[in-house]
Amino acid sequence: MTPSSINWFKFAAPARFYPLAGRLWPWFAAIGTLLGLVGLWISFFVAPTDFQQGEGYRIIFIHVPASWMSMFIYCVMAFYALLGVTFNTRLAGMMSSALAPTGALFAFLSLWTGALWGKPMWGTWWVWDARLTSELILFFLYVGYIALTAAIDDPRRADKAGFIVSLVGVVNVPVIYFSVKWWNTLHQGASVSLTKAPSMATTMLLGMLIMALAFWAYTIAMALYRVRAIILERERNATWVAELPEMKS
């Protein structure tokens, strides 16, 4: 079988995806832990002091990867929403629900570390500039998604309501990303982007990218772990669940 002929939809069936997720998540958890340790070590002990902000800049190693992940996870949720609406696969809604708490966590981390960073450097915890405000809206979108899907009892209807929140809210993501370009903001521009060379020392950049990869692996591990619980909960009356080895013991 050539790679292009893999039937991806095979894994859209919760009964098939459940064991696959079970095999995969420990690997991602291990990779995430390892990269996290290496990343933190580089962040705190290897990366040089900044010429302007001294040691205080080191919060960037958490702040920037967390902000990236908060935006990226929302895009993934919107992608699952598109899949769910188009193909009516049950797994799309489950994956969306599994990702939302991690996305909310990263959005909160981004805001919180940003406040901790803003006070010593800018002189304020919070300002209502375009970047900070749009990231706060992203956090509310995550919380709104979680609240809305939790408020509807029928999981299929809850998924559909959640899809609408994901698809409508995804418009906010480019606004967050480009806010520092489109408007005057207190928040500085991007240090790392696809269009220009990074304006950071190489070791600093390395630390930040490794932390970003660690957050990726953590997100995948958590989503897979959580989706297994969601699958079991929703399919508890299905025969394949009753036949699972862990159910028989």
Partner 1 sequence: MKARQKRFAIVIGGLAALGIAAALILNAFQSNLVFFFTPTQVAAGEAPKGRAFRVGGLVKEGSLQRNDITARFIVTDTAQEIQVAYTGILPDLFSEGKGVVAQGTLSPDGQFTASEVLAKHDENYMPPEAQAAVDKAHEASRSLQQ
Q: Which residues bind partner 1 (CB under 8 A)?
A: 48-53, 57, 60, 81-82, 85-88, 120-124, 127-130, 167-168, 170-171, 175, 182-186, 188-191, 199-201, 204
203 CB-near residues (< 8 Å, 6+ apart): 42, 46, 47, 48
Question: In angstroms, what is the minimal distance from the CB of 124 to partner 1?
Answer: 6
**Identity of the residue, 187 or 244, whose beta carbon is nearer to partner 1 in the bound complex:** 187
Tokens of 108: 């909160």
Q: Which residues of 176-186 are buried (b: 16+ CB within 10 A; e: fewer)?
A: bbebbeeeebe
Strand partners of residue 54: 50
Comparison of 52 and 249: residue with beta carbon closer to partner 1: 52
| Choice between 29 and 167, CB closer to partner 1 | 167
Instruction: Please say which residue, 48 or 245, places its beta carbon nearer to partner 1.
Output: 48
> Is 181:129 a contact under the CB 8 Å cutoff?
no
Compute the distance between CA of residue 137 and CA of residue 145 in angstroms, rounded to an integer.
12
Q: How far is the CB of 178 from partner 1 (least distance, A)?
A: 10
Closest CA to 94 of 158, 35, 172: 158
